[in-house]
Amino acid sequence: MIRLFISEPAPPFAAGLMLPLNIDQGRYLTSVMRKGAGDQVSVFNGRDGEWTARIAEAGKRLVVLKLVEQTRPQPKGGGPVLAVALIKRSPLEYIIEKATELGASKIQLLMTRRTQSDHVKLERLKIIAQEAAEQTERLDAPEILPPVKLDVFLAAPGVEAIIFGDEDSAHEGEDRRTKPLLEVLSTLTNKRAAILIGPEGGFDDHERQTLRAMESVYPVNLGPRILRADTAAISALTLYQAALGDWR
């Protein structure tokens, strides 16, 4: 069944609620998927679970759904937070899509000294996350937060531990000083953690020193190879979900 994420403000979902769709979703249902009045779809808004809805009106300018019944309750949140430096558009969009599939609850975009871009189309990233949520049967979409400078993120409350993928640790060899990610995750079972991924080229020396000096930051080794930012983000989220998240 077709699934739609409802991002527009609306009353709490309840049987009988009439739900107008935005123009893009309405066109998708009627023009692309060839649905009409009486056909059923699934809808969710990240708060009220998943609902079966029936198309009550299928006009060219307005498509309206009528909620029928709840099919799944809303689960509790708590997925990992991903903080990622701005990189080129294509790999950043890929990160947003895969982080959604891997259950990230929030994605904070960052500006660092080696950031390759100082602007981003935030609405496009939100749409990518919403479409990924629809396809993967999530009942919410991660919050995509506008870019902030690294020091602002580090000073903000909200997480108890920051897992810092230190790309420089790939060169440590047998005298490894930086612990592997899985080993660090095993010590963070009761802490809400964020995964921090730097830009292409990595954090500069000043940023690395700042991160390593913070008690709440846990540098981790992501293996003997230098990973692209998108590869590092996906790998770290996968291991997090396997060790602490909903893959257990």
CA-to-CA dists, residue 213 to 154, 171, 216, 218, 219, angstroms: 12, 20, 9, 10, 10
Q: Give the residues across from 83 on adjacent strands.
A: 108, 196
Mean of the per-residue pLDDT values of the chain: 91
Quick one: 17 and 99 in the same domain? no
Asked if 93 and 145 sit in the same domain, the reply is yes
234: in domain: yes
Answer whether residue 248 is part of any domain. no
CATH number at residue 57: 2.40.240.20
Residues 122/158, Cβ–Cβ less than 8 Å: no
Amino acid letter for position 64: V
**Pair 193, 162: CB distance under 8 Å:** yes
The answer to whether residue 131 sits within a structural domain is yes
Q: Which of 72, 100, 130 is the last residue of a domain?
A: 72
Q: Is the domain of 53 the same as that of 110?
A: no
H or E segment and range at residue 134: helix 122-136
Average pLDDT over residues 67-96: 94
> What pLDDT digit, counting tens, does each position of 10-62 carry?
899 999 999 999 999 999 999 999 999 999 999 999 999 999 999 999 998 89
- Report if residue 38 sits inside a domain: yes
Q: Are residues 51 and 127 in the same domain?
A: no
- Which of 141, 137, 142 minimizes the C-alpha distance to 3? 137
Which domain-ending residue is among 22, 41, 72?
72
Q: What is the pLDDT of residues 148-161, one digit of tens each?
A: 999 999 998 778 89
Helix axes 89-101, 229-243, angle to 10 degrees: 10
CATH number, domain containing residue 126: 3.40.1280.10
Range(s) of the domain holding residue 43 = 3-72
Say which residue, 79 or 56, is predicted with more confidence.
56
Q: What pLDDT, in 10s, does the model give residues 129-145?
A: 999 999 999 999 999 99
